[in-house]
Amino acid sequence: MKITSTSCICPVLVCLCFVQRCYGTAHHSSIKVTRNQTKHIEGETEVHHRPKRGWVWNQFFVLEEHMGPDPQYVGKLHSNSDKGDGSVKYILTGEGAGTIFIIDDTTGDIHSTKSLDREQKTHYVLHAQAIDRRTNKPLEPESEFIIKVQDINDNAPKFTDGPYIVTVPEMSDMGTSVLQVTATDADDPTYGNSARVVYSILQGQPYFSVDPKTGVIRTALHNMDREAREHYSVVIQAKDMAGQVGGLSGSTTVNITLTDVNDNPPRFPQKHYQLYVPESAQVGSAVGKIKANDADTGSNADMTYSIINGDGIGIFSISTDKETREGILSLKKPLNYEKKKSYTLTIEGANTHLDFRFSHLGPFKDATMLKIIVGDVDEPPLFSMPSYVMEVYENAKIGTVVGTVLAQDPDSANSLVRYFIDYSAEDDRCFNIDANTGTIRTTKVLDREETPWYNITVAASENDNPGLLSHVTVGIRVLDVNDNPPELAREYDIVVCENSKPGQVIHTISAIDRDDFANGPRFNFFLDERLSVNPNFTLKDNEDNTASILTRRRRFSRTIQDVYYLPIMISDGGIPSLSSSSTLTVRVCACERDGRVRTCHAEAFLSSAGLSTGALIAILLCVVILLAIVVLFITLRRSKKEPLIISEEDVRENVVTYDDEGGGEEDTEAFDITALRNPSAAEELKYRRDIRPEVKLTPRHQTLSTLESIDVQEFIKQKLVEADLDPSVPPYDSLQTYAYEGQRSEAGSISSLDSATTQSDQDYHYLGDWGPEFKKLAELYGEIESERTT
């Protein structure tokens, strides 16, 4: 089968059609599809024969953007089996088959029904097959072919990144690269010149140029000055078809800004300036400003100012304001119109960031002349000194002259000056001042020990202008006189031991003086000569403002005298000397061998009770031992083992222990003990202990007479015999306990029962000889004895 392409009909594309036909003839010659054997169809025997040509076809092309009313003819399919009788049917499948591309199944003509866009899809892959119309059997195997969309120049170049903003330094050399722009064309770059772009400049000449092929923008002039023109708008055009007539074009804008370099030195607008400064200007204050202009910007316009010459270099200073780039003129020293009325300064402004490429344009500094006129101002009076220090003795009479201050009018008028002391509300007004002469006097008697220093403020004003004031500080030192006698430094607690030796130092004392050092130490200590010699103590001056107290005799006794008094005298070193007297109190105390005080007054209280220290310790020791014995006894009683548990069937007599004490004689009222006195009365109460008894108790008043006639010993023997002969008792011995003391006791009964009715021959008068500690006990037993005797 052959595929035949058609000629182009559109007159506008005659050239393209010619290229297409030539291209198809030269490059797309018929492709022979050969095979070694044919396909076995419907059971026919497979015959091996020489391969013959089946499909013969060309590659198809179709123009994009076809706008004609009829479908565009693409090409023709033809099979060798087609005899022209219509028995062969052509079928087309693949991309766009039936929608974009249709085929005449009888003739094999292929048409395109839609306008195609190569920029969306460049080619289509389809499959062609020829079948027998009657049998629907394939006459040839299916074959694949391609329909390419042929490009036309339907897309203009585009700058995808525009518009552009770029900078370039001013004063750059000609040909300095600024920016490279790139335009893109969606047409096929491999076919014709549809995508071949060239660049040109539409706006921005003669300052800039563009490379037609690369799109690089460059400067076209030397020394482009930012101060002359800073911003440029350059329009660049890109045109396809290599720039030929009929090509499509696109453009973009490039905004170019010249950046600053330091190519301009600073310049003062004037060469001479004049500044008025009043003489009352404060030191350190700003008195004026000056500025040099610099056409550059940013750091290239930074500058510093300095005073390079003039007679006011020591009076004025200049600094630079970095924000405003101004020179700030300040006052270093006070001005005085009466002394100097004008100053001249030479001020220089210089760039701080230099670019040596442009040093030939320098120098990058400038200077100007500044004349400063000092203005006359009515000034307040001026004191002769910045501050005054005066002295006056304490206790001086009221009106004593302390000193004089002096102030004058610094102006040429030389007005009279008046003085006064500037007191605050809470100040103690101890001084006054003469308004005309400035003499300061006391108004009170001063005491150095109370206030040693005074600070006052003196103000001065002109008579003609009282509102102008000046102030000065006056310090007044109060000088000391010897008006305070010395005294002991503190209250001393002096102790002397009973076992002291003669000449022993028992204490060291010192003194103080409220006066100044010159009228105070050195202190002298001595005993009052008007008194008789003290036989117990003496005083030794150590000549270092201290004195030592020494004993004169051996041993002291608290029982004889426990406190001594020692009068002493103290004098200072002032002129005239002052002295004072004091009395020291010395206590007598008991001390250890190493001199430590053991006791002073506390032991005297114990001695009055008749007990020494050793006796007191012995008594305390006895009390501790008694307490220990009591605690041990209680502990032993609590830890005593309990008896074994007795069975409930054991009806023998059990011993029940109660941990409480008896009530003494009061126990006679608690229970009836007549049974112990006469056990024979128990016969009527006899019952077995191993069974529940059924006994009727007789009244108590019926048995009292019987119990008194029976002996307890006989009763016990009788009970023992009964227990041995009674077969009903348990077959084991049991211990029967009775509160019976027995007979033949030489000591007699120790029981407290009925003790209140017995008489005692004990004599307790000897307790009165035991001392005051047993006085209460002797009185108690004395009363008992007296009651018994009575």
Where on the phi/psi map is residue 679: left (φ > 0), alpha (ψ -120 to 50), or beta?
Answer: alpha
| CA distance readout (Å), 608 to 428, 496, 601, 602, 614 | 62, 22, 11, 11, 15
What pLDDT, on a 0 to 100 scale, did the predictor assign at position 731?
58
| CA distance readout (Å), 592 to 492, 500, 502, 600, 602 | 22, 11, 17, 12, 16
Q: Decide yes or no: CATH 1.10.10.10 for domain 272-375.
A: no
Q: How many CB atoms lie within 10 A of CB 498?
A: 15
Asked if residues 197 and 237 have their Cβ atoms less than 8 Å apart, the reply is no
E strand or H helix that includes residue 618:
helix 613-638
Q: Which of 231, 238, 235, 204 is nearest to 219 (CA)?
A: 204
Side-chain half-sphere exposure of 510, counting CA atoms within 13 A = 9
Q: What is the dihedral sign for C-alpha 153, 157, 160, 163? A: negative
Cα angle for residues 602, 605, 607 (degrees, 5° grid): 110
CATH number of the 59-150 domain: 2.60.40.60
Q: Do domains 59-150 and 382-479 have the same CATH topology?
A: yes
Q: Which residue in the block uniquely carries the two structure tokens 């307040």?
A: 380
Spacing of C-alpha 778 from chain mean position: 81
C-alpha 188/C-alpha 154 separation (Å) is: 10
Asked if residues 262 and 235 have their Cβ atoms less than 8 Å apart, the reply is no
Classify each residue of 427-466 as buried b or exposed e, where b means 16 or more C-beta atoms within 10 Å of its C-beta.
eeebbebeeeebebbbeeebebeeeeebebebbbbbeebe
Asked if residues 255 and 164 have their Cβ atoms less than 8 Å apart, the reply is yes
> Strands 143-150, 164-169: parallel, antiparallel or unpaired by DSSP?
unpaired
User: Which residues are CB-neighbours of 438 under 8 A, at least 6 positions away?
Assistant: 404, 405, 406, 407, 419, 458, 460
* CATH architecture of the domain covering 487-599: Sandwich (2.60)
Beta bridge partners of 442: 431
**Tokens encoding 101:** 């591309």
**Top-tier CATH class for 158-259:** mainly beta
Asked if residues 351 and 267 have their Cβ atoms less than 8 Å apart, the reply is no
What pLDDT, on a 0 to 100 scale, did the predictor assign at position 695?
42
Phi, psi (degrees; rounded to nearest 5) at 269: -60, -30
| Model pLDDT for residues 560-603, shown as the tens digit of each residue | 888 999 999 999 888 888 889 999 999 999 888 777 888 886 44
Q: What is the DSSP string of 122-152?
A: SEEEEEEEEEETTT--BSS--EEEEEEEEP-
Q: pTM (2 decimals)?
A: 0.43
Q: How many CB atoms lie within 10 A of CB 592?
A: 10
Side-chain half-sphere exposure of 492, counting CA atoms within 13 A = 23
Q: What is the dihedral sign for C-alpha 444, 447, 448, 450? A: negative
**Tokens encoding 143:** 């074959």
C-alpha 124/C-alpha 116 separation (Å) is: 11
Cis amide linkage into residue 576, ω under 30° from 0: yes
Asked if residues 30 and 57 have their Cβ atoms less than 8 Å apart, the reply is yes
Domain residue limits, the chain: 59-150, 158-259, 272-375, 382-479, 487-599
What pLDDT, on a 0 to 100 scale, did the predictor assign at position 107?
86
| CA distance readout (Å), 736 to 652, 653, 716 | 9, 8, 10
Q: What is the DSSP string of 669-703?
A: GTS--HHHH-GGGGGGG---SSS----PPPPHHHH
What pLDDT, on a 0 to 100 scale, did the predictor assign at position 357?
84
Phi, psi (degrees; rounded to nearest 5) at 523: -95, 145
| CA distance readout (Å), 319 to 325, 351, 352, 366, 703 | 10, 14, 14, 16, 140
> Strands 579-591, 494-497: parallel, antiparallel or unpaired by DSSP?
parallel
Parts of the chain with a pLDDT under 50: 2, 4-57, 602-609, 644, 646-652, 670-671, 677, 679-693, 695-708, 752-758, 790
Asked if residues 292 and 365 have their Cβ atoms less than 8 Å apart, the reply is no
Q: Which residue in the block uniquely carries the two structure tokens 């033949």?
A: 744
Asked if residues 84 and 5 have their Cβ atoms less than 8 Å apart, the reply is no
| CA distance readout (Å), 530 to 225, 544, 549, 570 | 115, 25, 19, 14
* CATH architecture of the domain covering 382-479: Sandwich (2.60)
What pLDDT, on a 0 to 100 scale, did the predictor assign at position 283?
94
Q: Which of 536, 533, 538 is nearest to 550 (CA)?
A: 538
Q: What is the DSSP letter of 528?
A: -
Asked if residues 586 and 537 have their Cβ atoms less than 8 Å apart, the reply is yes
C-alpha 68/C-alpha 13 separation (Å) is: 13
Phi, psi (degrees; rounded to nearest 5) at 637: -65, -35
> Which residue type does 577 have?
S
